[in-house]
């Protein structure tokens, strides 16, 4: 039999108001989050980045293996290298790999292989999924776990007044070598984090309604 940790008393978060009011207040913050591609060069303190990473690290994970690592980059030379490497992959995507339908679907977002915002934005967080624990042990539900942590990271950034864009250059294995990371770390998502520029615009999108995204069986 393996050892297990002792159980300790849990006190659930107490919102200090009704659950209805607390849920609504949180929803209103979450609903302001938009994916942004125009960033200000306004500094973001390391402290803020550390705190949003801590928030991400509170996510549940398979067998509590916490199979994630967040590489936070503000070093301008390294950011430049990351930008160049990502743009190389994105040029391939836009010029060769993407189907016409995919390019059509992306048109309203005005995306392109030009990722110059990576120079402007003060931080780039590369999310690593740990294929094994650092000592070679098994992890479980890797994508689910890292997805939950990353969702919290985006939410925490938004809550702190920061903007993000979820980037998935494909393939992105090159980031592991570029960042000098060990074999068990699989680059999973790239998240530029900063303040949106004053003249930032976003596509005029709506969100699906509650009726479309839910089914209640009461
Ligand atoms: N990875 C490319 C293309 C791209 C794909 C999807 I799906 C998006 O929602 C947005 C962009 C890029 O980052 O430009």
Q: Looking up tokens 């390391």, which residue turns up?
A: 46
Asked if residue 130 belongs to a domain, the reply is yes
Pairing of strands 163-164, 185-194: antiparallel
Cα 147 from Cα 61, distance rounded (Å): 10
Summarised one tens digit per residue, pLDDT across range 5-16 is 799 999 999 999
* Residue 5 pLDDT: 75
Query: Domain range holding 60?
Result: 45-75+121-195
pLDDT at 17: 98
The CATH number assigned to the domain holding 148 equals: 3.40.109.10
With cut-offs at 50, 70 and 90, classify the pLDDT of residue 2: low
Q: Under 8 Å CB-to-CB from 47, ≥6 apart: which residues? A: none
Is there a domain that residue 179 lies in? yes
Q: How far is the C-alpha of 77 from the C-alpha of 134, rounded, in Å?
A: 28
Answer whether residue 101 is part of any domain.
no
Q: What is the mean pLDDT of the chain?
A: 97
pTM of the model: 0.96
Residue 67 included in any domain: yes
How do residues 130-142 score in pLDDT, each as one tens digit?
999 999 999 999 9
Residue 72's DSSP bridge partners are 125
pLDDT in tens, 69-118: 999 999 999 999 999 999 999 999 999 999 999 999 999 999 999 999 99
Ligand 1 first shell, C-beta below 6 A: 90, 93, 106, 109, 111, 167-169
Q: Which residue has the tokens 């938009």?
A: 34
Examine residue 126 and state whether it is found in any structural domain, yes or no. yes
CA 109–ligand 1 middle distance (angstroms)? 9
Is 214 part of a structural domain of the chain? no
Q: Please give the number of the atom of ligand 1 that sits closest to the Cα of 105.
A: 7
Residues ≥6 apart with Cβ < 8 Å to 5: none
Cα 210 to ligand 1 centroid, rounded to whole Å? 26
pLDDT for residue 1 is more than 60: no
| Inside any domain, residue 93 | no
What is the count of structural domains for the chain? 1
What confidence tens digit (pLDDT) does each residue in 28-41 have?
999 999 999 999 99
At a CB cut-off of 8 Å and minimum separation 6, what does 171 contact?
89
| 86 burial via Cβ count (<10 Å: 0-12, 13-18, 19+) | buried
Contact 165, 192 (CB under 8 A): yes
- Residue 168: closest CA among 100, 76, 93, 84: 93
* 142-159 vs 46-56: helix crossing angle, rounded to 10: 140
- Tell me if 143 is assigned to some domain: yes
């Amino acid at each position: 039999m393996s050892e297990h940790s002792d159980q300790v008393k849990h006190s659930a978060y107490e919102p200090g108001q009704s659950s209805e009011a607390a849920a609504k207040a949180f929803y209103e913050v979450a609903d302001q989050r938009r994916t942004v591609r125009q960033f200000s060069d306004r500094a973001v303190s390391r402290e803020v980045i550390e705190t949003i990473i801590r928030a991400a690290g509170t996510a549940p994970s398979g067998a509590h293996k916490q199979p994630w690592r967040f590489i936070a980059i503000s070093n301008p030379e390294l950011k430049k290298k990351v930008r160049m490497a990502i743009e190389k992959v994105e040029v391939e995507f836009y010029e060769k790999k993407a189907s016409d339908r995919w390019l059509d679907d992306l048109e309203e977002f005005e995306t392109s292989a030009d990722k110059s915002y990576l120079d402007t934005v003060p931080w780039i967080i590369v999310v690593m999924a740990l294929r094994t624990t650092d000592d070679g042990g098994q992890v479980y539900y890797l994508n689910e776990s890292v997805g939950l942590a990353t969702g919290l990271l985006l939410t925490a950034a938004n809550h702190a007044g920061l903007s993000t864009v979820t980037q998935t250059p494909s393939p992105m294995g090159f980031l592991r070598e570029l960042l000098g990371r060990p074999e068990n770390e699989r680059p999973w998502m790239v998240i530029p984090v900063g303040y949106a520029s004053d003249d930032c615009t976003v596509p005029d999108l709506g969100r699906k309604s509650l009726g479309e995204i839910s089914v209640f069986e009461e």
